[in-house]
Each structure stands twice: as C-alpha cells, then as structure tokens.
Structure 1
C-alpha cells in the first residue's frame, strides 16, 4: 500500500460522503469518472462535492450569505486551516496528493455570484464567459488529477476549459424549460434575435423551426468545443483517458437525446438511458483503441 493510498483510506468515510453527493446529482459525471483508479476517482468526487456546495448556495439556498461562508471556508482551506467537515477533510487529502491550483475554485465562486445577480447573456461570448466561471473552471480543477505526472501543458488547460464550457452549454440546452421556470434565460439575446425567436415565444414554450435553429446554433458551438479534448486526451495520464473521453461522450449524448425527443426541452428533461450510456462508453473505448485520432463525425 502506498502512502497516497493510506491517506485516502484514513478518510474513507469522508470520501464516501462525497461520492453520495455526486451519485445524487450527476449520473453522467458519476458514470464517467467512476472509471478512474481509486485515488483519482475519490479525488474527483471530492471536487464535485465542492462544486455542488457552490451551486446549491445559489440554486437551492438562493443565498449570498451561504456563498460567502463557502468562500470563507475555501480561503481558510487554502491557508492551511481545514474546516472540520467531510468535504474539507476529503479535499485536504486531495490537496496533499495532487498539485491543485486554487484559482479555479475561487473562479467557481465568482460564477455562482453571477447567477445570484443573473442577467440574460447578450452574446455567445457573454455566455461562454459565464460558462468558464461555472464549468470551465471545473476542467482546470480536474486536470492536476487527470495529468498528475507533471505540470499541465497550456494546450491541455485550454482543452479542459473548452470541455467544461461545452458541458455547460449542453446543460443549458437540456434545461431550457427548467431554467425558464426559475426565471433564467441563458440563451443569448443575439442568438435569439438571429433565429427570429422572441422572449414571448419562449414564454409560450413554442417549439418551431426558429427554436430549432436557435437551439442548434448553440449545440453546434458545444460540439466544436468538445473536439479539442478528444484529441488532447492523449496528453492525459494513461489511466485517466478512458474516463475523460467517456464523460465527453456521455455529455455529448445529451444533445442527441434532446434531438431524438423532438427538442421538447421546454417541457421535459432529456436523460441518457443506461443502454445508451453503455453504447457511448463503448464508443469512447473504441476511439481510444483507434490507431489515429478520429474527429467526432467519424465516430458518431
């Protein structure tokens, strides 16, 4: 047993708590990253639990005070004063085991603050900036675990950011109706205007040719942003490539589920079934076994 493994085993209960958080809240993320070896897998669960706490401060508690407390705990944590809670005890092991950069964690907090003072993005660039803070930052959090053998190359950092942004746009396209119920429209004003789709149409939950054009314009952007990590996964640790590509395929599969469901994301939530998830993971495995990198269209 290595020293690293001993550290994780001493905090097994805390990591189990983190695993329950991810199992309850993100089936796709859990399916993919459960494919990692034990210490990396547990570390991803801990990072997810932090992100969930930040998200819940806004979506569940709707509280700037809760977010302030979390930010205070985060500052204490990185200053060496680890709060005596399962999340932070688990995170302490992650920090001791991997070269974790603190900036993305504070960027995540900033992203949640933007949701507390929500404004519909005016442009696609505005949407992607927001998506960096709430999801591209997660890519940066994960990379020191997925590329643990040395410092993370700059091109891999950008691919991690792009993957997070693609996943966030995918979530937005899946959850258009749920977000509308909560008074939020993440579809950019300029994109809606270009597709000739109005706020009135959205409130009526109208799914017509204009809505499909609007939805597809954002889906196509997400698909472009998925591509860099598909190629750069070769730069990750060998034991991390399968999980990462699987997460990419599973999230990309959500877009296809919305399409197959007739773009009914204004009234229902598309879910990747277990059978479809198995197929997507098999496609990810086939990609990694291929003799040359494949572009997305070649494997779908």
Structure 2
C-alpha cells in the first residue's frame, strides 16, 4: 500500500513535467528510475512556484501564493509537510538523496523577483536573477546527478542553470514584452548596442538587435562550455541525460539564428525529429 501510494505520487509529478516541459522530460527520462522520478518531483515543485506567479493577475495574490508555498516548505523542513502528492514525493527524494533545502527557498525568492519586476540594469543583475530562478534548480538536482561529488560541482550546476535561463530569455523576448510587459535584456547592454524599448515595441530586428542578442547568446554558450568541461565528474548514469539536456537547450539558440533572430513574433523550439537526433 505504501509503495502504491509512492508510485501514484511520482506519477503525479511525471505528468506535470510531461505536460509543461517536453525538453526536460525528453532529456531526463534517460536517467535510472530512482533519479528520474526525483527530477520529476523537483520539477513539479518548481512548476508550482512558477504557476503561483504566472497564473495570478494581481500582485497581492501572487505574493500570497508564494508566501503560502514558503509556509508549506517551512512545514516540509520540519517534517510536518502537507498530505499531498508533491510533498510526499519530495519527502521520498529527501529520504533517498543528500538534499539541501536552501535552493528550494532560493527558487521562491526568484519567483518573488518576477512579482515586483524591474528590468535588470546590468548583465551581472541578469545572472543574479537567473541564479534564483534557474541556477537554484541546478543545485536542487545536483545531489541526484552527482551523488559522490555534488559538494564540488555547485558552480557548474549553477552555470548550467544560468545558461538555460538566458536561453529562455533570448527565446521569449517578444512574448515577455508583449504578453508580460517585461524586458529581461539588461538596460546597460541595450544602451551599449543601441537597441531601445521603442525598437522592441516595433518588433524591429536590425543589426543592433542581432548584436545584442548574440552578445547574450555567447555568454550563455560560455556557461554551457564551463558546465561541459566538468561533465566527467558527474555520475556515470547521469552524464548522457545531462549532456542531452544541455545540448537540447543550447540548440534553441541555433534555432533562433536559423529563424533570422525572430524571437519577437515567432515561438522558437527544437523540432521533435531534431530532438531524437540529439539524444546523447
């Protein structure tokens, strides 16, 4: 009966990642079962945090939702968690791996940064934000994919998370601006390359936009490389899924390039046939 409940809880988390992130599901489905379902449970937590902000139109409601989630995380930290599939699944993960709860709190801090949003001034501020919303996920996953060496690989896990978040930003520039009224491109970099908000509003893809976009893309690619240089220290059974995840996300940048940098009016994604060719 206990195993049946656990199986149902883990399936609940798997269904969330299958629905919301085909790229992550595709990459991490290659892990052994115990690790695979641990990744799914962590993704489900992050999805809940993200939805708490994105699915509520009123700032006060967003804040209340994040505060409620932080309260539930407090309960979890005291082994008093809610009787709910997500929290039961996460308890299994914490009982199985040498987990650190701080990155889960950092993830909530990142979501709060989106509630009271202001465009980052500098690339450093963008990367700080990217740590909280994505680098923190790397740290959550680290004890699962580097069971022996996770204490030595924190920077590389954060590098991968930040690279993926910058990739997301470069993919979603138009959507973020027109649907969410957010500009994640750092203000100083926009000034440096001569791409102002009026051009963004006009959905103008000129050389200044391409130069700005490439500047940030190259930074993401540098971080992907920094992660890849340490891949050999991760668990043997996790290397291929990790490399697949990094390769698939990195490929989004090439898709945007192939689409003539149109991330202002077009949704860019890696086609299924291309994904299959990229599995490591």
Cα distance in structure 2, aligned partners of 1:9 and 1:270 = 39
C-alpha RMSD of the superposition: 1.3
After TM superposition, where is structure 1 displaced by more than 2 Å over at least 4 residues in a row?
A: 6-10
Q: Secondary structure at the match of 1:49?
A: helix
Match of 2:36 among 36, 41, 44: 41
Give the deviation of 1:32 after TM superposition: 0.3
1:57 matched residue in structure 2: 52
Query: In the comparison of the two structures, how many residue pairs are matched?
Result: 275
Aligned partners of 2:149 and 2:233 also within 8 Å: no
Aligned residue among 196, 216, 219 for 1:218: 216
Deviation of residue 10 (structure 1)?
Answer: 4.4
Matches within 5 A, 1:124-143: 124-143=123-142
* Counterparts of residues 114-129 of structure 1 (less than 5 Å): 114-129=113-128
Structure 2 CA distance, aligned partners of 1:52 and 1:7?
A: 26
Once residues 189 and 8 of structure 1 are traced to their aligned partners in structure 2, the CA distance between those partners, rounded to angstroms, is 52
Alignment deviations for residues 144-196 of structure 1 (CA, whole Å, 9 cap, x no partner): 00012x35233x11000000000000000000011002110000001111111
Unpaired stretches in structure 1, ≥5 consecutive residues: 1-5, 286-300
Query: Which residue of structure 2 lines up, in the alignment, with residue 96 of structure 1?
Result: 95
Asked if the contact 2:149–2:234 (Cα under 8 Å) also holds between the matched residues in 1, the reply is no
Stretch moving more, 267-276 or 132-141:
267-276
Residues in 1 aligned to 2:63 and 2:181: alpha-carbon distance in whole angstroms: 18
**2:173 is the alignment partner of 1:163:** no
Where does residue 177 of structure 1 map in the other structure?
174
After superposition, the C-alpha distances for 1:62-90 in whole angstroms (9 at most, x for unaligned) are 41111111111011001101211111010
Counting only pairs closer than 5 Å after superposition, residues 201-212 of structure 1 correspond to structure 2 as: 201-212=199-210
Give TM-score scaled by structure 1 length.
0.89
Match of 1:21 in 2: 16
TM-score under structure 2 length normalisation: 0.96
Paired with 1:8 and 1:33, the residues of 2 have a C-alpha distance of 23
